[in-house]
Structure 1
Amino acid sequence: MPEMTFEVRWPDGAVENCYSPSLVMHDHLTVGGSYTVAEFIDRSTTALSEASDRVRAKYGFACTSAAATTHQITTSAARYPADAHVDIVSMHPPL
């Protein structure tokens, strides 16, 4: 299963690298896209849940790394207002 990383820029300019065990993030986020914090949380946690489900289907167990990334994102996002914007800087590998 191909894994990927994606880099986000938070409203204060901080850049954070995130991990996904699946390329499914490309279905929910776009490089250069800007999302409100609330929308980013929704899109990324949905995608990471799908990624974990793909791992479960293939290997028989959920992906703890997807759960850790979900926690990382929600913890970071809690520092900002829901209507502030998060930018998707990069996604590797690209589609």
Structure 2
Amino acid sequence: MAFRDVYEKEKYIVIRGQSRAFRIIKYIVISGIAGVVYAWQGLSVTGYVFLALFAISICVHFLFRWKTRGWTQPWGLYKKILPVENNKIKQ
């Protein structure tokens, strides 16, 4: 699969799909955690927490990507997101 195809597929997932509500809730929770950690421990610990959360989020992203076979198969709470026909994204 060419880089352009992968890029188009990822762009489709970001813009459409089931992830909008999840993304909004995710950023509210992350902001809340950051605010609490900053008030409790200060800026340096908040930076370490953000690095840890970033590493965890990358791992979870690739886990879901692997289990859904590139966002094309249902797994867990995710149903099929991408309508793929002949390796092309329907517009």
TM-score normalised by the chain length of structure 2 = 0.34
Computing the radius of gyration over CA atoms, which structure comes out larger, 1 or 2?
2
Structure showing the higher strand proportion among its residues:
1
Structure showing the higher helix proportion among its residues:
2
TM-score normalised by the chain length of structure 1 = 0.33
